[in-house]
Structures are given as structure tokens and as C-alpha cells.
Chains A and B, each alone.
Chain A
Amino acid sequence: QSVLTQPPSVSAAPGQRVTISCSGISYTIGNDFVSWYQQFPGTAPTLLIYDTYKRPSGIPDRFSGSRSGTSATLRITGLQTGDGADYYCGIWDAGRGAVFGGGTKLTVL
């Protein structure tokens, strides 16, 4: 059982906005190392967001990240059918190493 909690599934229609939460994050001063990954079935994860809100080059600005208290949120706007995938949050904890959330399956209706 993951120490980071995500909803098992979310769904929305094309063109709409969806948010995926990740709770249970213990932040320390200067540690905003929340990442989000997208994974399609049978493929490796890809990095969508790092340091809570930063996007690697090539990731569209439809994907954004934020945090509030002990939770982080991934927001996807202008949903496309190709966004249907599993999404994982992840942090790096000095005591436990890399920790991932349980994953959220996004269905684009």
C-alpha cells in the first residue's frame, strides 16, 4: 500500500478539465520535489511535471501541477482522447527514497 494516496480513477469528456490529487506528502523546507508521470498500457512512464509545477520540454501547458498543504494536484485541461492513461505522483523522501502514489486511471469519455 502506497503512502501517497491517489483516487483510483477519474473520468471526464473531451475538452473538459480534470484534476488528480495526491495526498500524504510530508513537505520539508525547500523540498517541493513532487513529480507526475503518465503511463500508457504496456509502456514506460513518462515525466509530465517535476518540482510540483515545472514541465519538461515537450510537455504541453495543458498539464499543470500545484500543491496545497500535504497534497499535490495534477490538472489537465482541454482533455483529449489520447490523454487516457494511468497517472502517478511521486516524491523523493530523504528517509525512504523514491515513493510513488498508487496511480489514477484517467478515462476520457
Chain B
Amino acid sequence: EVELVQSGPEVKKPGEALRISCEASGYSFSRYWIGWVRQMPGKGLEWMGSIYPYDSDVRYSPSFQGHITISADKSSSTAYLHWSTLEASDTAMYFCARHVYCNDGVCHTTDNWGQGTLVTVSS
């Protein structure tokens, strides 16, 4: 059974750094793209970027490029989302999700999602 388990909620101050995680199990982690999706309070889903753990190929949404870093550790089957400098506007729920039926970074769909990590940034 495919499972994505995310790290717990975080409360941070503006300007602080943060890394949240997503541990995968039940499938070959290296061979599937895994992405991050933001959902701000009361709002819709926004794709942030995805990584192919096999070769660490990363694709970012232009809206998030430069503000986040996505990485993966094949040895622990874990994907990460990192901010070096948080802003209050980063307050949101963040989901990791597995993409399937992919070819050269273009994927058909996203079939499994983590439970979400709530990040609150407030002074």
C-alpha cells in the first residue's frame, strides 16, 4: 500500500528557515515524481514543484521558484520542502503527492497524497 507520511505542524517566525518532510512507503520511491502542493487558508490547490528522486531532477512552478527548495533522500525514501526565509504569506497547509504515468517530467495525474503539514508563520 502506497503511503506518504508528512512531518508535523510547524509554528515559525518570519525570517526563519524551515524544512518539512514526506516519507514514502509501499512503492519504489526513486522511480516516481513526487511533488508539493500549497493550500492557503480557505483557498485552492497550488502546485509548487516536483522532484524525480532517481536523478534529483526538479521542476518548480514559476510562482515558487527561488523561494523554496525541493530535495529528496533516496536512502530514507523521503522528500523535503525547504524555505531559507519564511514570510507570513507562507502560512498554509502543504501536501506532498505522488505523480504517476510520467514521461520526461510530464505526468498524467497525482494518485496518492500525504496528510498535509500545517505551517504557521507569525511574529
Contacts and interface: CB of A to CB of B under 8 A. Distances in A.
Q: Tell me, yes or no, whether A binds B.
A: yes
Interface of A: 2, 33, 35, 37, 39, 43-47, 50-51, 56, 88, 90, 92, 94, 96-103
A101 B44 CA distance: 8
A99 B107 CA distance: 11
Contacts of B105: 94
B113 A88 contact: no
Contacts of A56: 111
A93 to B, nearest CB: 8
Interface of B: 35, 37, 44-47, 49-50, 59-62, 95, 97, 99, 101, 105-116
Chief secondary structure at chain B's binding surface: strand
Most A CB contacts (10 A, CB to CB) among B95, B101, B108 go to B108
Given A44-B95, A92-B106, A97-B59, A50 B111 contact: yes
B110 A90 contact: yes
A47 B44 contact: no
B109 A51 contact: yes
Contacts of B62: 96
B44 A35 contact: no
24 contacts: A33-B109, A35-B108, A37-B45, A39-B45, A44-B95, A44-B116, A47-B112, A50-B108, A50-B109, A51-B101, A56-B111, A88-B44, A88-B45, A90-B45, A90-B110, A92-B107, A97-B47, A97-B49, A97-B61, A98-B50, A98-B99, A98-B110, A100-B46, A103-B45
